[in-house]
Structure 1
Amino acid sequence: MTCKNCTNEVNHNFCPNCGQPSKLKRIDGHYIAQEIEHVLHFERGILFTVKELIINPEQNIRNYISENRSRLVKPVIFIILTSLIYTLISHFFHIEDEYIKYEGMEKSAFVNILGWLQANYGYMNILTGIFIAFWLKIFFKKYDYNFFELLIMLCFVLGISMLIFAFFAIIEGILHIKLLNITGIIGVIYLTSATANFFEKNKPVNYFKALYCYLLGMITFFVLTLAVGITIDIIIKH
């Protein structure tokens, strides 16, 4: 028998080269239940990842980068999944409708871009993470983390911030109490502390540098987005 994944010869239940089963089981209800259990698993799945990133984010992220990458959910999947959770909750309760308004600017390319980003927080977090990672690399260059390792760290901490927003969005939607501003403060505190501790826990200056990098990253991203939107508007008008 030939492996359908790598074309290696297979004589047993699994391919000796890539580990692919020689015969895949048919997808049924049991398979779906196993997949859901795998995602929600308390020892390796999304719930375990959330717990570890809340209790001790800096150590768990460092372990993921340098030691063990099997215990936590993959960072890109994590940020997209948590962003999707917040997006669904926010849309269900119409949380952002009272805070974000584009009256008189609906035809602007910049507003259309922001609208798309608002509907796709997973992509927006990854894009803003690129700019934040750029500034972190500059301000924390002595710690010798490369750009991509910093981006991985940001995927984890930004993912938790999305869950913080999702949690308070549920409370706001049920109790009809405006909490978005307070939630933003809590989210920034988590992002700043987790990032500063990732580099070195006992250096107070790292907290200010981390906050500064987040602000610079967000400003850089939105200035670039504004520039792209204005450019598109100018091209369309001409």
Structure 2
Amino acid sequence: MNSYWQDLASSSNGYYEEDDFAAAAYRLVAEQVIYHADLKSRKAFGIIEQYERHITKVLAPLGIAVGVDRQLMFAYAIPQHPSPTSATVPQTLFALVLRGLYEEGMRAGEIADESGEIICDFIELQEKYRLMTGRELPPKGELESLIRTARRWGIVRRLEATDSHLADLHVDSEDGGIAIRPAIRVILGESTLQQLALWGTSGSATASSADDNHSDQTDQDTANEAP
């Protein structure tokens, strides 16, 4: 493998070194998504974008498919034979909601900039989470943990003070908000939207059942109180 990276480094006329290629390939596998918008990732993205065919050749025997979205400027690695997920139910639900929010934002033309991100504050997130799942958004500590996990998956990031170019989006929450990243459409495909629809139906049914039970109990209480 070292000789392969050496050959690529030589073909770059000294622009990249052997370790640059190895590091880019490792990061792609470890992080799953590499965004050009992230300053510390631009070198790795540049290598993967320019040498996509070569990186693909290296990772294919490992059962990993490589792709580059040159419009939204991100590279991704998808296992072709994924192992059973170890994601918890809250992590899965949170990811499903993020996927649904991204689709809603795309349809409404709410893309923040050329990075393809959809911005969401915590007030909207709380409302949409309840509507999509029939459950309340987890409390702050658990929510922050879910955001960190989703960030490791490459599908979300926390808004930061440096996001001054997003000021005109009027994020209402004092805690800022999140940016749902475009690779979520690759990481969580169409089947994810179907799963979200099932969760929504289940949540609505649960809520409806709870309302019916409450109504039945109220009727019974009224009957017991009748003379």
Fold equivalence (TM over 0.5): no
Higher share of residues assigned strand: 2
Instruction: State TM-score, norm by structure 2.
Output: 0.30
Higher gyration radius (CA): 2
Higher helix content, 1 or 2 = 1
**Whose relative contact order is higher, 1 or 2, with alpha carbons under 8 Å and at least 6 apart?**
1
